[in-house]
Chain A
Amino acid sequence: MPEPHYRPGDAVDFRHIVVPPAGAQPRPDETCPPAETFALCNDLIRVLDEAGRAVGPWNPQLDPATLRRMLRMMALTRAFDERMYRGQRQGKTSFYMKSAGEEATAVAPAMALDFEDMVFPSYRQQGILITRGYPLVDMINQIYSNRADRLKGRQLPIMYSARSHNFFTISGNLATQLPQAVGWAMASASRGDTRIAATWVGEGSTSEGDFHSAMTFAAVYNVPVVFNVVNNQWAISSFSGFAGAERATFAARAIGYGIAGLRVDGNDPLAVYAAERWAADRARSNMGPTLIEHFTYRAEGHSTSDDPGAYRSAQERSEWPLGDPIARLRDHLIALGEWSDDQQAAMDQELAEAVRAATKEAEKNGILGHGLHHPFKTMFEDVFEELPWHLQEQAEQAIRERRIKWPEWKE
């Protein structure tokens, strides 16, 4: 039976995790045969070294303005998470999921992809929406399920949908988005459309059958899709060994399907950007799918309903050998002479204030359970395109119940 290295109270020593030097990984051409990537499935693509320099063939050579934007989007994601987490604890909503420590795996790909590329996220890629400029107020309205929620209060908080930002509706059932991304990309390719699909899944959910069917279809039809496996080590309380991590890397799954695979330092935003861009360019030039494993660490609980202190050592976060993605990019910018601690502090303050202002704005539309929800009849809409008789009857019943309970109530 697999057993994680450390449990609560244990001293943590991550020396068994092999961290190769930054810049030492070869970068094959985007149009290479899949087999040329297979060695990278058991390596770790890294760009930022310990001194904060960007080194090696995977260095995407981004200009300072782009680097600062990347830093800002990651910091905004973290500030947003902090505020929403507190909001849940204050009873403003039922549920929240932070992405602390994993911001690079959403923000950097969102910058590497085209805005028009369709993303099929899992539940911890709020960084994509933020990077694509989706309004924070709309995100908070969704989290509060209030009367301005674009999803009409139907979805669990953070299960966003944003067609305007090419962001597919998040399911909550795990890995279902993988074959859907493949189907979307097949449709796009069949139309001669240059848009590709990218999808995200946790390492734990690679155990689902949908992962296998998505890989198979993607390989069979050479589909323009990028699979992002976010290996954050923990699936709620189950460590990655329960998904087979002790036998092979998640990137190495690509080898069996005969598609390109890359294993990336998921806390190195530049490596993540470079890998995603490589895979996107490859897909767009009709060379087929890529599986990217983002090797990272879930720094906090699975969700607000989780207590990681009950199953893992609290030391893991501070001992994580790949550091923190925001700190690493900050240090890089400082090393370049393009940023400072003072600027960082000012930015953090500015972003916290922006999130606070968005929260206040959203709260005008209500918080969960305080009456400011969508009109009652919307519960029955969108089950079908048109309301069939049986839902019409049930809608009338619901209105009747409402009138009995609150005689003064008006729709």
Chain B
Amino acid sequence: MTLEEAPVSLHDAPGRRLTMIEAINEALDIMLARDPDVVILGEDVGYFGGVFRATAGLQKKYGKMRVFDTPISEGGIIGVAVGMGAYGLRPVPEIQFADYIYPGLDQLVSEAARLRYRSAAEFIAPMTVRSPFGGGIFGGQTHSQSPEAMFTHVAGLKTVVPSTPHDAKGLLIAAIEDNDPVIFFEPKRIYNGPFDGYYDRPVKPWAEHPDSVVPEGYYATPLGKARVVREGDAVTVLAYGTMVHVAGAVCAEKGVDAELIDLRTLVPLDLDTVQKSVEKTGKCLIVHEATRTSGFGAELSALVQERCFWHLEAPIERVTGFDTPYPHSLEWAYFPGPVRIGEALDRLLGH
């Protein structure tokens, strides 16, 4: 085998290391340069570059007609983006926090999601709504929510959650290129470094994580494809966003030979990868930060049961946030951290 033919492992490759914010910024930069139809709009995204710096420098580089600040009106931001999409642009609106997305819900659910269907494809909404979501930053009940299940329930929307800088760039590029509306939730706890669930330990930078190696230039990570983060035989762990890192750390700490799957796209879901894994391990743990009742874990649990019932050796476990608003001072009691995950693993593995 020559050097050229050797399998390329990104983990070992030398390369630039970026934070998730830098990777997202780079994806936006690349798409603004590649496609003149791409426009970015949102609160504080222009001159200032976004409250999390995701759009830093882009207005200066591409001008105010391509990257611009908006009134504080999420319904207006999404509604205007629907109109821009109908014209033929490819808008990438930012909703500053997922907690603020609800005023835009009618425009997303009744308009963007159904434009193609109701007009028999005369009009489409090729927009990607970026929004930071999730807790772990002392955001209280209005800066911490994970509302992904509200969107996975809507016919016509795709929902994507990256967990690494590498995927954040590739998935965001794929989302922007997609001709359907995509909700792109960015786990803000891991914008600047991965998180093992121990809030009382020193913060780790992305630079020490293998998936912070981000190739330069254009690449798309296809929507609807999960990533097997770690192969294993003892149990299948399904997670996305921040919880990929937390669940992975708990399994490593407990020495569990888990098969960890990062779903990456919730709709359309890569059920084949999930099914193959659960049929192998016979056990399934689902982890998400969002509230439990009618959370996306309920859908995953139902699908695994339907597809893998005769392979299951134990009841499917769900580890989630509690069914309360996200509390400020008791944030870490709410967060589905190592204790909650560990307990569920013990139950599953019969310890």
List A residues at the B interface (Cβ < 8 Å): 118, 120, 150-152, 154-155, 159, 161-163, 168-169, 171, 173, 176, 178-188, 190, 197, 209-210, 212-214, 216-217, 220, 382-385, 388-390
Contacts and interface: CB of A to CB of B under 8 A. Distances in A.
A186 B84 contact: yes
B47 interface: no
Top 9 nearest A-B pairs by Cβ distance?
A: A183-B83, A179-B79, A213-B76, A183-B80, A187-B87, A180-B83, A388-B268, A169-B119, A184-B83
Contact of B79 (A161, A210, A220): A210
Nearest to A120: B83
Given A180-B82, A180-B111, A388 B70 contact: no
16 contacts: A161-B118, A163-B123, A173-B111, A176-B110, A179-B76, A179-B83, A183-B87, A186-B80, A190-B65, A212-B73, A217-B80, A383-B117, A383-B155, A385-B116, A390-B268, A390-B271
Interface of B: 39, 65, 70-71, 73, 75-76, 78-89, 91, 103, 106-107, 110-111, 115-124, 155-156, 158, 178-180, 224, 267-269, 271
Nearest to B157: A384
A370 B235 CA distance: 53
Contacts of A159: 118
A213 B115 CA distance: 20
B87 A152 contact: no
Contact of A184 (B84, B107, B158, B269): B84
A217 B73 contact: yes
Contact of B123 (A161, A210, A216): A161
Contacts of B111: 171, 173, 176, 180
Given A179-B75, A180-B79, A213-B75, 8 more contacts: A161-B122, A179-B80, A179-B83, A182-B79, A197-B83, A216-B71, A384-B268, A389-B271
A118 B122 CA distance: 14
Contacts of B110: 171, 173, 176
B118 A169 contact: yes
Contacts of B81: 183
Nearest to A379: B117
A185 B267 CA distance: 31
Nearest to A179: B79
A216 B76 contact: yes
B71 A220 contact: yes
Contacts of A384: 116, 156, 158, 180, 268
Contact of B122 (A169, A181, A185, A385): A169
Nearest to B117: A382
A210 B75 CA distance: 7
Contact of A181 (B71, B73, B83, B178): B83
B293 to A, nearest CB: 22
Contacts of B123: 161, 163, 168-169
B88 A187 contact: yes
Contacts of A181: 83
Nearest to B91: A183
Contacts of B124: 385
Contacts of A120: 83
A187 to B, nearest CB: 4
Given A176-B111, A217-B70, A383 B119 contact: no
A108 B122 CA distance: 26
Given A171-B110, A176-B107, A216-B71, A188 B119 contact: no
A404 to B, nearest CB: 21
A187 B118 contact: no
A48 B88 CA distance: 41
A301 B122 CA distance: 31
A247 B85 CA distance: 37
A78 B255 CA distance: 77
B106 A173 contact: yes
Given A163-B122, A178-B79, A388-B224, A382 B86 contact: no
A314 to B, nearest CB: 35
Contacts of A210: 75-76, 79, 106-107
Contact of A154 (B65, B83, B117, B179): B117
A213 B86 CA distance: 18
B101 to A, nearest CB: 14
Nearest to A190: B65
A188 B87 contact: yes
A141 to B, nearest CB: 12
- Central interface residue in B65, B75, B81, B124, by most chain A CB within 10 Å: B75
Contacts of A154: 117-118, 120
B73 A213 contact: yes
B80 A180 contact: yes
A162 B180 CA distance: 20
B116 A382 contact: yes
Contacts of B119: 151, 161, 163, 169
Given A183-B83, A382-B121, A385-B180, A214 B76 contact: yes
A158 to B, nearest CB: 13
Contacts of B271: 389-390
Nearest to B272: A389
Contacts of B78: 179
Contacts of B122: 161-163, 169
Nearest to B69: A220
A159 B115 CA distance: 12
Contacts of A214: 76, 79
Contacts of A168: 86, 123
A93 to B, nearest CB: 17
A186 B224 CA distance: 33
Contact of B83 (A185, A216, A220): A185
Contacts of B91: 183
Contacts of A382: 116-117, 120-121
Interface centre among B82, B106, B119, B178 (most CB of A within 10 A): B119
Contact of B82 (A118, A183, A185, A190): A183
Contact of A213 (B79, B179, B224): B79
Contacts of A197: 83
A183 B73 contact: no
A171 B106 CA distance: 11
Contact of A169 (B39, B89, B103, B115): B115
Contacts of A213: 71, 73, 75-76, 79
Contact of A216 (B73, B84, B106): B73
A108 to B, nearest CB: 24
A388 B265 CA distance: 12
Contacts of B117: 154, 382-383
A248 B277 CA distance: 65
A220 to B, nearest CB: 6
Contacts of B84: 183-184, 186-187
Contacts of A190: 39, 65
